[in-house]
């Protein structure tokens, strides 16, 4: 009988070179494997081996061999739920693929420590004009030179059509065919490691997409009791849950072992419902860390969570899940509300951005058990003693940009000096920064939501859903058709920052701040931080942020952020004999400041300290 706690599914090559197929299909009494080899279609009865699993083995199977499963007496031939490769899309046969055939050149790679992470979120389809893994390799050096240490790739598990954000994927093991397939992803990871960049992969374990999802015809992958905003949740705690959990946990092993990825970003863990004695998130973390330890590499498991609950970080012996880091959206919302003045949707909770930003910088969560008017209830709990390196913060992400009416980026709604202020808050904050592709040079291309469903009913459902979401923010007017080719093409990065222009100045600011994070000990210290609001000239707020160990006075730095539009005198330094190390209004960053700094322009910031 098959061990359903560890069983691997899919078409897998054995030590003797033969290929064994294994699929979990408890809803079927009998199952047939259909293969296309040497131009011939062959059908093979699969053997039931217990607990709903079926197997079949064959010799002399070549990589690329197409195959499908015929369920019961049904004439339809369906792809493998654990397919490693869907070369022709979600509705067509799967293909055999051998991950171990790739020759890696990263044998000395050990990963990037959490404290050194600077994450760059990117979408493969729009990152370059070609929209492929191989084309992305040509831009990695630009990211390294910027100061990025890790790329975070939006989901690449097989989704329907040619274009999609990736969160509607339906084959968790297959790598998107239109991006170049699985071998090309291996090449991208290998090239990243050669340049010193870690690779974090965005994965979706809370639901399966609506088109090309045949899993429920094989077995109860979906839950009968839990739903997400995007459809049924996964069956992590119902009958037959052991097989679904094994399916997910082996997927975790697969990405880290066969693609050498350095981490997983778990999408919307607040939509992962599991009432089992041991939560699936805890098991995911344990498996990921075990595979990383065996390979001698640092592996990060990062949760996207809107719960403001550090249970995901707490050690299992303390009732937590033991993950490495989590997103903290309160920081984004504070900065966004501060520089844009928006108070619609969830920004309605951020009515006092300066004071709430102060709290976000010193206590991580703004909503740590206090009342949220947007939610109509208290929300969150304190971050306790977790260091800042356990939290990922941003001023732009695919969600925060792409879920706007037009998909407009932050720079379209604020002044350049406000954009520089936001960048300074992000990169000087005592947390791990995440940049959204193109943010560093105010990319002109927007990033609207796009998809490529073949079913017209799904296309219309997406339009309705987007319209309802925009109404909740009181945004009115037309928005780009998510299904239109032009909507996708409008999101492709230009990769242009003319040397003497404002974009180059902004990119230079990012580059200098990221260099400072590497060079200045205070910015590598995620524990010691202090902040206060200063009243300067009639109550106009200036935020003072201090980083570094008080016992190492010559290593401490302080930053003064003018949160108002009027210029104010530069407050006296709290660090003895300190110098101005960086001024955001400097002409080299696109500002107007030349020579000696004796004041703070509106929405400018200054860093003071001892020259490292």
345, 348, 354, 359 alpha-carbon torsion, rounded to 10°:
-90
Distance linking the first and last C-alpha atoms of the chain: 64
The token pair at 37 is 């080899």
Q: Which residue is listed with tokens 């604020």? A: 414
Which one of 304, 389, 439, 512 is the catalytic residue? 304
Residue 133 neighbours by CB under 8 Å, 6+ apart: 124, 179, 180, 184, 185, 187, 188
Report the relative pairing of strands 371-372 and 31-37 from DSSP bridges: unpaired
**CA 424/CA 560 separation, integer angstroms:** 10
The token pair at 159 is 């989704």
Q: Which residue is listed with tokens 């299992």? A: 316
**Strand spans (E) along 212-309:** 222-228, 231-234, 263-266, 300-303
The token pair at 234 is 């996964």
The token pair at 120 is 């760059």
**CA 465/CA 375 separation, integer angstroms:** 20
The token pair at 22 is 């294994």
Q: Exposed, middle or buried by CB within 10 Å (0-12, 13-18, 19+), for 427?
A: buried
**CA 315/CA 336 separation, integer angstroms:** 32
**CA 383/CA 428 separation, integer angstroms:** 19
> Is 304 among the residues known to form the active site?
yes
**Strand spans (E) along 239-335:** 263-266, 300-303, 325-327
Residue 156 neighbours by CB under 8 Å, 6+ apart: 124, 166, 175, 176, 179, 185, 201
Which one of 267, 329, 525, 586 is the catalytic residue? 267
Residues designated catalytic: 267, 304
């Amino acid at each position: 009988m098959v061990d359903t706690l560890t069983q691997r599914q899919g078409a897998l090559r054995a030590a003797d070179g033969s290929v064994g197929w294994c699929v979990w299909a408890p809803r079927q009494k009998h199952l047939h494997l259909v293969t296309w080899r040497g131009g011939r279609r062959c059908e093979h009865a699969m053997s039931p081996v217990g607990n709903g699993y079926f197997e079949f083995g064959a010799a002399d199977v070549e990589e690329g061999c197409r195959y499908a499963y015929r369920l019961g007496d049904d004439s339809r031939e369906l792809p493998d739920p654990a397919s490693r490769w869907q070369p022709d899309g979600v509705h067509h046969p799967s293909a055999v693929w051998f991950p171990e055939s790739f020759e890696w050149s990263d044998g000395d790679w050990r990963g990037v420590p959490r404290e050194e992470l600077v994450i760059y979120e990117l979408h493969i389809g729009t990152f370059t004009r070609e929209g492929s893994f191989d084309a992305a390799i040509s831009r990695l050096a630009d990211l390294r030179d910027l100061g990025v240490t890790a790329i975070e790739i939006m989901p690449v598990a097989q989704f329907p059509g040619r274009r999609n954000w990736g969160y509607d994927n339906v084959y968790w093991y297959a790598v998107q065919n239109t991006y170049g397939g699985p071998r090309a992803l291996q090449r991208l990871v290998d090239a990243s490691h050669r340049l010193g960049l870690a690779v974090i992969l965005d994965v979706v374990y809370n639901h399966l997409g609506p088109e090309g999802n045949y899993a429920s015809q094989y077995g109860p992958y979906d839950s009968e009791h839990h739903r997400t905003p995007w459809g049924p949740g996964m069956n992590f705690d119902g009958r037959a849950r052991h097989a679904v959990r094994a399916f997910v946990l082996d997927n975790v092993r697969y990405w880290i072992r066969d693609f050498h990825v350095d981490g997983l970003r778990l999408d919307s863990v607040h939509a992962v419902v599991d009432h089992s004695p041991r939560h699936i998130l805890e098991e995911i973390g344990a498996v990921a860390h075990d595979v990383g330890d065996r390979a001698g590499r640092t592996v990060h498991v990062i949760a996207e969570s809107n719960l403001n609950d550090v249970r995901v970080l707490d050690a299992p012996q303390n009732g937590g899940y033991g993950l490495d880091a989590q997103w903290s959206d309160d920081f984004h919302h504070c900065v966004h509300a501060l520089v844009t003045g928006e108070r619609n949707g969830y920004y309605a909770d951020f009515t006092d951005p300066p004071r709430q930003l102060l709290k976000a910088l010193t206590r991580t969560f703004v909503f740590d058990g206090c009342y949220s008017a947007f939610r109509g209830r208290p929300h969150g709990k304190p971050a306790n003693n977790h260091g800042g390196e356990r939290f990922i913060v941003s001023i732009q992400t695919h969600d925060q940009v792409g879920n706007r009416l037009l998909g407009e980026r932050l720079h379209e709604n604020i002044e350049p000096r406000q954009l520089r202020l936001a960048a300074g808050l992000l990169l000087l904050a005592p947390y791990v920064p995440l940049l959204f592709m193109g943010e560093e040079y105010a990319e002109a291309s927007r990033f609207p939501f796009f998809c490529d469903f073949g079913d017209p009913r799904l296309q219309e459902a997406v339009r309705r859903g987007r319209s309802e979401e925009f109404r909740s923010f009181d945004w009115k007017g037309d928005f780009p058709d998510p299904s239109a080719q032009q909507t996708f093409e409008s999101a492709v990065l230009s990769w242009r920052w003319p040397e003497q222009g404002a974009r180059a100045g902004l990119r230079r600011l990012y580059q200098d701040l990221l260099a400072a994070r590497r060079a200045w000990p205070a910015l590598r210290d995620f524990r010691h931080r202090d902040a206060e609001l200063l009243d300067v000239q009639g109550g106009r707020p200036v935020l003072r942020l201090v980083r570094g160990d008080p016992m190492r006075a010559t290593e401490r730095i302080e930053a003064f952020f003018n949160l108002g539009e009027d210029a104010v005198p530069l407050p006296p330094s709290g660090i003895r004999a300190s110098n101005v190390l960086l001024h955001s209004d400097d002409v080299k960053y696109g500002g107007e400041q030349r020579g000696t700094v004796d004041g703070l322009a509106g929405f400018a910031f200054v860093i003071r300290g001892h020259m490292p």
